[in-house]
Amino acid sequence: MVNKILFLDIDGTILDNDKNIPNGVKDSIQTARENGHEVVIATGRAPFTAQSIMDELKIDSFICYNGQIVQFQGEIIHKGIIDTMELQHLTEFAMEREQPLVYMDDKEFVSNVPDHEDIYESISSLKLALPRVEENFFLSNDIHQALIFCDMEVQKEYEKAFPNLKFVRWHRVSCDVLPKGVSKAQGIELFLNYLHKTPKDAIAFGDGLNDVEMLQYVGTGVAMGNSVEELKKHASFVTDHVSENGLVNAMKKLKLI
């Protein structure tokens, strides 16, 4: 079998609903690596919120912020940022609606308002510490991704008002904000081009809306059993739930381990 590059989402794919790594996942990733396959994290998370997981799994290649930062074996090969004027207009638009934002550079995430219940609900669901507060953080730092906090109906207002931005829902009250056209698939394309590989060499595993383009792009796309229904439509096949050995079973089915 030709050695493959495996792109693994984190939340709902590697981590279960309790943010634990299910039994067998760590050994399976190690076995896949020993069998000659390259293992890469592909996540909407920031590098600094994914680092402990990557350390535990001994992975040093990643696509973070849904494609905005790409790293191969410790070397950064791409960093994308959101235009400052776009962020200025987005912030003004959100503040008119009394909706907060969180800005993310490559070291931390920062809220423009203190103590907002939507920030608490969404960020705490990842079992992460809440962001610190600095109102105009985006003016003096390169922002790779932002978060807005609203329901799906209000999201449509943002999409209409900001055609140069992309809004990807990951939580009941929160969306990732990226430049238009950015996706995990774009990050994978950069990664594969760097290694002179093609999409046929890639297998991706995911569960969320930010995984749709990724599963469409690679040669084999695997949706977890716990995936949103929209993602399952684009998968080569659907494996078991993350808590029922879904990732391990998929790797066995594909003869990666």
- Does 201 qualify as catalytic in the annotation? no
The average confidence (pLDDT) of the chain is 95
Q: Which of 134, 164, 179 delimits the end of a domain? A: 179
| Each residue's pLDDT tens digit, 159-199 | 999 999 999 999 999 999 999 999 999 999 999 999 999 99
Report the predicted TM-score, pTM, of the whole model to 2 decimal places.
0.90
**Could you tell me what percentage of the chain is helix, strand and coil, using 3-state DSSP and rounding each to the nearest 5?**
35, 25, 40
Residue 186 and residue 114 share a domain: no
Residue 130 and residue 49 share a domain: no
The pLDDT value given to residue 113? 93
Identify which of 29, 34, 66, 24 has the alpha carbon closest to the alpha carbon of residue 47.
66
The pLDDT value given to residue 213? 96
In this structure, what are the phi and psi dihedrals at residue 60, rounded to the nearest 5 degrees?
Answer: -125, 20
Total domain count for the chain? 2
CB contact burial 217-242 (16+ within 10 A = b; e otherwise): bbebbbbbbbbbeebeebbeebbebb
Examine the pLDDT at 239 and tell me if it is beyond 70: yes
What's the mean pLDDT in 59-75? 96
Residue 93 and residue 171 share a domain: yes
Residue 193 and residue 175 share a domain: no
Residue 208 and residue 126 share a domain: no
- pLDDT band for 126, please (50, 70, 90 cuts): confident
Q: Are 236 and 220 in contact (CB under 8 A)?
A: yes
Examine the pLDDT at 252 and tell me if it is beyond 80: yes
Residue 171 and residue 103 share a domain: yes
The pLDDT value given to residue 102? 97
- pLDDT band for 2, please (50, 70, 90 cuts): low
* C-alpha separations of 72 from 3, 81, 213, 238 in Å: 17, 19, 21, 28
d(CA 84, CA 140): 9
Residue 188 and residue 144 share a domain: no
Residue 188 and residue 174 share a domain: no
Q: Report the 10 Å Cβ neighbour count for 21.
A: 17
The pLDDT value given to residue 39? 98
Q: Which of 179, 195, 228 delimits the end of a domain? A: 179
Residue 71 and residue 126 share a domain: no
- Residue 109's beta-bridge partner residues? 104
The pLDDT value given to residue 40? 98
Q: Which of 179, 197, 216 delimits the end of a domain? A: 179
- pLDDT band for 79, please (50, 70, 90 cuts): very high
- pLDDT band for 42, please (50, 70, 90 cuts): very high
Set 9, 105, 118, 207: catalytic member: 9
Identify which of 13, 43, 68 has the alpha carbon closest to the alpha carbon of residue 226.
13
Domain range for 121 is 84-179
The pLDDT value given to residue 36? 96
In this structure, what are the phi and psi dihedrals at residue 245, rounded to the nearest 5 degrees?
Answer: 65, 30
- pLDDT band for 203, please (50, 70, 90 cuts): very high
